A and B are shown apart, each in its own frame.
Chain A
Amino acid sequence: MTVTSDEARERSRVHFEAEEFDASLREALSGLDSSPQDVSLLVLAGRAGVEVDSAEAVEHLRRATELAPEDAGAWHHLGEALAAEGLTLEAGEAFRRAVELDPQDNVALTHLGHTSLAAGRDQEGVGYLAQAAGSVDGASTAAISLVDMYRSFGQNEEALAQARRLVDAAADDIPAWIDVAELSLAVGELDEARVAFERLRDLDEVPGHEAYPLHGLMRVEIGREQWAAAEALAVQSAAIDPQGLGVDVIAFLRAQRGEEGQEPVPTRAQVEESLDASLSEYRRMHADDRRLQARENLG
């Protein structure tokens, strides 16, 4: 029975949307047998091929862009196929072409930002990401990456602005709250830092993580020189770790309030360094959260 390209295209599309990628690829290839220059079929074959790790995916999409060099979607999907192969520079060129042809393609713009970063063109990449993040309300991949990049550049105010957007859009986004907490602490927005660490205390249910937000809160109160409040937190922290968590901090805090004890008293710099190290460890523990929460990985 002869399969028309229209039928094949429709079947392939239905399978693709149902995430039946093998079937989608099969249908697209069968349509290409009779219509090898059908751009839509080539794009479907390429997109489905990417999902099933087909070695020919890139070639189908390259062919599509050759046949339809003004088709922004074909360039967009070629970029994704190349990025999946790790051909980041080539992918960047494909995304650049996609954005030129369709300036409204925010996904391609986000990709372009990331491929620029991967190529070491940080300022250019951040520019694209800022443009992409500015085009959508709420959270976006671009905004998440912007937080990281601004942090790397030491642009804490800009990083904090993006992190705030993330927690506004997703009130239980722990990595974003960690960013807000740390960045607001860094820029001296201590009230905001306190709210963020309190939020983390409530949100983070991982056993063993309980002490970290407390360390952040202690850091805030020490920053405000609220010694009694910091000591109350240190006592709570010690309750989580009865073997002596925060003993040095308590000695320091008591000394600030004029109490004398037996313990050697660390300097403020030592205390802050210790708490910062703890927060750094906390950040590491949540470093993979974004990937774990990605839609493709949800149960």
Chain B
Amino acid sequence: MADLALASREVSAEWFRCPSCEAFVYHKRLKRNLGVCPECNYHFRLRIRERLAQLLDADSFEELGGEAEPLDALSFTDSKPYAERIRDAQRKTGMRSGALYGRGTIDGSPVVVAGIDFNFIGGSMSGAVGDAITLAAELALESRTPLLAISASGGARMQEGCVSLMQMAKTGQAVGRLAEQGVLFISLLTDPTYGGVSASYATLGDVLISEPGAHIGFAGPSVIEQTIHQQLPEGFQTAEFLVEHGMLDVLEPRENLRRTIRNLLELHSRAEAARTEHGAARAHRLPDTEGAPPISDPDALAVTDPWEVVERARHIDRPRMLDLVGVAFDEFHELRGDRLFGEDRAIIGGLGRLGELAVMVIGQQKGHTTSEMMEHNFGMPEPEGYRKAMRLMRYAERFGLPIVTIVDTPGAYPGIGAEERGQSVAIAESIMLMSRLRVPTVAVVTGEGGSGGALALATGDRVLMMENAYYSVISPEGCSTILFKDATAAPRAAKALRITSPDLLRLGVMDAVVPEPDGGAHTNPGVAGANLRAALTASLAELLSLDLDELLAQRYDRFRKFGAPGRQPVLSPITGEP
């Protein structure tokens, strides 16, 4: 038998050849390097206990339930009885079922852990494996402790027939209850995760994490390749491929996994603590700020020519979403993907921290250099961007996290593909979702507020703008061409559209303005970020004191008043120019 033979080898002499770079690596060096090839970073597969040792605090794992013995419910026999296969696997792996669960801590943060060992019949989903996952989910629910599931599996266990198939439903419903009750579920998908595991609980996590090069999919690649009779794309079914297609939140090298999970747990522990606090207590989580307070009196704002405002809003050095987030928030951890089609880098979202308050931050990102702007599509989101934003808004709602949105877009991307994939629907759904979210929301237009593409992230309880941002139903150039019949009349159109902060305050479109340093935010991004932090803190302090009914009523009324006779402020005509 392999295990006996292996035991008889000179174990201390073991060297492994990296399947990727073909270097020979001494096993102790490989172990020190967390099972990652030191030459090329190939991530070797890990046994589940090795994985737990890497992720959990030393000696913190308390295994629960013993390991359930797999049931041979079908009394299945092929070339040999299933019961015999189980015994062989048990002898080979030293495990009873190939899955385990228990409690542990990561840097002191408690977590319920469940994991599958790929060496036990390919990590296939038996009733016992499903039970371990389900028991873990039930314990997580009962104790309101985050669940970390670690998967490696080829799919269903054929020898258990429909009993194996039903594990998909059993585990799916168990983690569904976590989602309903706002208990965090982190799913770590490791190489390989396929079939009945990838198509059930493993991809239902609030956060899906994987490692470089991990293979994850529904059907195996050779099956697909022969089915569709075409060459598969490079990296097909790798974690990188899944990120690109919007299916994973986080892709991290193994050395970062523990820290990444710890950060998520810590932020969620803040959210969990805040969950039971009432308004004023929650507001105490907000930081003391040093930035200039927001301005709600339009007459207190400097009068700047609207076209100059447009130019400042578009300035290449103007701080972008990620620049501002870096100053205004104490922490930010990006979560990617719409879980439907793609990862749109025009919209960035993730968990942030403002003082001691965990929040969801979502915004449009442009970048500064040509390559950055291309990566972020010049801040013009595709439907996938809005769908990612909506996914994260629902995430925030599940955990009671206030949402901050950063708006900086010339508009939603108007391409053919965007139309094919429902750009209008995505924007409409985002607006509707934001309007009914059961958590406080603050939107800030920080640069360009381009029409519906901006509003999709700006249907908030409080809508702010930075002093030199603009917000408009159409670009000044577009309006100039269409209504003024003159492409060069954009400055005139900018003035006529009333797109600057004082006018938008007067119209009630904006609630407050974030002051900028003289000359614009680009002259001192640090000050601009600090002022943004102060404005967000002030708005959230107000909103956190409201009960949910009041919050929703006020939000409804906020948008209900626009255009309503007697409620819509009307601006005086512009004088002095045609």
Contact = CB atoms under 8 A, between A and B. Distances in A.
- Do A and B make up one complex? yes
Interface of A: 50, 53, 80, 83-86, 88, 91, 106-107, 110-111, 114, 117-118, 136, 138-142, 145, 148, 152, 169-173, 202, 205-209, 211-212, 215, 241, 243-248, 274, 277-278, 281, 284-285, 287-288, 290-299
Given A208-B195, A299-B93, A170 B15 contact: no
A207 B159 CA distance: 11
Given A207-B158, A241-B227, A294-B27, A173 B13 contact: no
Contacts of A202: 79
Contacts of A295: 6-7, 11
Given A211-B222, A298-B93, A139 B19 contact: no
Nearest to B124: A207
Nearest to B48: A299
Contact of A110 (B10, B31, B119): B10
A165 to B, nearest CB: 11
Interface in B303-343: none
A288 B223 contact: no
A272 to B, nearest CB: 14
A139 B4 CA distance: 11
25 contacts: A50-B28, A53-B32, A83-B28, A85-B29, A88-B26, A110-B15, A118-B23, A136-B10, A139-B9, A140-B10, A145-B24, A169-B5, A170-B4, A173-B5, A206-B123, A207-B124, A207-B158, A209-B122, A209-B220, A285-B192, A288-B44, A291-B16, A291-B27, A291-B35, A292-B46
Contact of B122 (A85, A170, A206, A247): A206
Contacts of A136: 10
B294 to A, nearest CB: 52
B115 to A, nearest CB: 12
B85 A205 contact: yes
Given A111-B13, A299-B117, A139 B8 contact: yes
Given A118-B24, A291-B45, A298-B93, A207 B9 contact: no
Q: Which 3 interchain pairs have the tightest Cβ spacing? A: A206-B122, A299-B94, A287-B19
Contact of A170 (B6, B119, B195): B6
Contacts of B93: 298-299
Interface SS of chain A:
helix
Given A294-B6, A298-B93, A206 B121 contact: yes
A207 B194 contact: yes
Nearest to A245: B226
A91 B154 CA distance: 39
A258 B32 CA distance: 60
Interface size class on chain B is 35 or more
B165 to A, nearest CB: 12
Given A202-B79, A206-B124, A208-B155, A296 B27 contact: yes
A208 B13 contact: no
B185 interface: no
A107 B94 contact: no
B49 interface: yes
A284 B236 CA distance: 14
Contact of A80 (B28, B49, B118): B28
Given A285-B192, A291-B45, A299-B93, A145 B15 contact: yes
Given A141-B13, A288-B45, A295-B6, 19 more contacts: A110-B13, A117-B24, A138-B5, A152-B22, A169-B5, A173-B5, A202-B79, A205-B124, A206-B121, A206-B154, A207-B153, A207-B157, A285-B192, A293-B119, A294-B6, A294-B11, A294-B16, A297-B46, A299-B49
Contacts of B16: 290-291, 294
Contacts of B44: 288, 291
Interface string B90-133: 00111100000000000000000000011101111000000000
A89 to B, nearest CB: 13
Contacts of A206: 118, 121-124, 154
A84 B29 contact: yes
Given A202-B79, A205-B122, A212-B222, A173 B2 contact: yes
Contacts of B27: 291, 294, 296
Contacts of A296: 11, 27, 31
Interface string B46-58: 1111100000000
Contacts of A111: 13, 15, 26
B38 interface: yes
A269 B123 CA distance: 36
A274 B232 CA distance: 13
A244 B227 contact: yes
Nearest to A76: B12
Contacts of B229: 244, 248
A207 B155 contact: yes
B154 A207 contact: yes
Interface in B424-454: none
